[in-house]
Amino acid sequence: MPKFVTVDQTVNEKLIAIVESRVEDYLSQIFEAQELTKEDNIYAFRFGTVQVFIQIKPYHFDNALVYMYSYLAENVPITLENAGELLRLNAIIPFGSFGITFDNTVIYAYSMPGVQLDFEEFRTALQTVATIADNYDEKVLAMVS
């Protein structure tokens, strides 16, 4: 049996602030100030036909998640066929996943631990999320129409 330590679900605000500071530094290396917005601790930028969001979320006492996502299609009729197609896309995408939010919006998202996150990991993940979202938004719209 694995020797995992029980995860302490306590939110560590100091750690979240450290991860937010690191992410802000990384974003400043990638974007010009006018290319990036921040509202309610959610960063956003445009890439092609999509908007990509970055958010720091509590995970447990020793880590925080860097959550990257993009909304691809709103008010999607959820059918067995549509859900199956999104699951098939998840099987071929290298990381991240397509999902459906509470209000039937198709989303593409990826999250990773932030405490040990380095610049190259962050940049690669952000570029991949933006590219996949931009490449698939029209395909998802066509698929669910």
The residue extents of the domains of the chain are 13-144
Is domain 13-144 classified as CATH 3.30.1460.10? yes
Cα dihedral sign, 94-139-84-46: positive
Note the pTM of the prediction, 2 decimals: 0.91
Contact 84, 37 (CB under 8 A): no
- What pLDDT, in 10s, does the model give residues 79-99? 999 899 999 999 999 889 999
Torsion angle of C-alpha atoms 137, 89, 108, 141, degrees rounded to 10: 30
Contacts of 39 (CB under 8 A, 6+ apart): none
pLDDT at 100 over 70: yes
- What pLDDT, in 10s, does the model give residues 10-51? 888 999 999 999 999 999 999 999 999 999 999 999 999 999
